[in-house]
Amino acid sequence: MNTLTFDINIESSYTIPTPAEIHNELPLAPDQAQKVFSFRETVKNIVTRKDPRILMITGPCSIDDIDAAREYAHRLAELSKKVSDRLFPVMRTYFEKPRTTLGWKGFVYDPLLDNTFNMEKGLRESRKLLLNLVDLSLPSATEFLDPLIPQYLSDLISWAAIGARTVESQTHRQLASGLSMPVGFKNATDGAINVAVDAILAARSRHSFLGISNDGRTGVFSTKGNPFCHVVLRGSSQGGNFGSENVAYAVELMRKKNLIPSIVVDCSHGNSSKDPLKQKIVAEDVVQQITNGQKAISGLMLESYLKTGRQDVTERTKESTGLSVTDGCISWEETSSIILETYKRLS
**Could you give the C-alpha distances from 17 to 107, 124, 202, 210, 325, in angstroms and in order?**
17, 10, 32, 19, 28
Nearest alpha-carbon partner for 197 in 240, 165, 247, 231 = 231
Q: What confidence category does residue 102 fall into, taking pLDDT thresholds of 50, 70 and 90?
A: confident
Torsion, Cα 70 73 74 78, to 10 degrees, reads: 180
Where in the chain are the domains? 19-319+333-345
Of 185, 175, 152, 184, nearest in space to 223 by CA = 175
Confidence of residue 101 (pLDDT cuts 50, 70, 90): confident
Task: For residue 301, name the pLDDT band (cuts at 50, 70, 90).
Answer: very high
CATH-assigned architecture of domain 19-319+333-345? Alpha-Beta Barrel (3.20)
Contact assessment for residue 337 and residue 79, using Cβ atoms and an 8 Å cutoff: no
pLDDT at 71: 98
Q: What is the Cα–Cα distance from 322 to 164, expressed in whole angstroms?
A: 26
State the pLDDT at residue 239. Answer: 95
Res. 182 pLDDT band, cuts 50 70 90:
very high
pLDDT digits (tens, 9 = 90+) for 302-325: 999 999 999 999 888 888 999 999
Those residues whose C-beta lies under 8 Å from the C-beta of residue 329, and which sit 6 or more positions away, are 60, 61, 276, 303, 304, 305, 307, 308, 309, 310
CA distances from 193 to 189, 190, 206, 289 (A): 10, 9, 23, 19
3-state SS assignment for residue 262: coil
Instruction: Give me the pLDDT at residue 75, please.
Output: 98
Write out the H or E segment, with its range, that includes residue 125.
helix 119-135
pLDDT tens profile 324-340: 999 999 999 999 999 99
pLDDT in tens, 210-235: 999 999 999 999 999 999 999 999 99
pTM given for the model: 0.97
Instruction: Give pLDDT tens digits for 239-258.
Output: 999 999 999 999 999 999 99
Asked if 252 contacts 288 with a C-beta cutoff of 8 angstroms, the reply is no
Percent of the residues in the chain that have a pLDDT greater than 90, as a whole number:
94
* Residues 160, 142 contacting (CB under 8 angstroms): yes
pLDDT of residue 4: 86
The helix (run of H) or strand (run of E) holding residue 245 is helix 244-256
Query: What is the model's pLDDT at position 120?
Result: 97
Which stretches does DSSP call E strand in the chain?
54-59, 87-92, 140-143, 159-162, 183-186, 208-212, 218-222, 229-233, 263-266, 297-303
Task: State the chain's mean pLDDT as an integer.
Answer: 96
Distance CA 292, CA 300 (A): 16
Give the per-residue pLDDT at 46: 98
Q: What is the largest CA-CA distance in the chain?
A: 68
State the DSSP code for 240.
Answer: -
pLDDT of amino acid 97: 87
Residues contacting 266, CB < 8 A, separation 6+? 186, 232, 233, 234, 235, 301
Secondary structure (DSSP) of 273-290: TT-GGGHHHHHHHHHHHH
Whole-number pLDDT of residue 20: 98
Q: What are 120-147's pLDDT values in tens digits?
A: 999 999 999 999 999 999 999 999 999 9
**pLDDT, position 319:** 86
What is the pLDDT, as a whole number, of residue 99? 77
C-beta of residue 87 within 8 angstroms of C-beta of residue 53: yes
Residue-wise pLDDT for 34-78, tens only, equals: 999 999 999 999 999 999 999 999 999 999 999 999 999 999 999
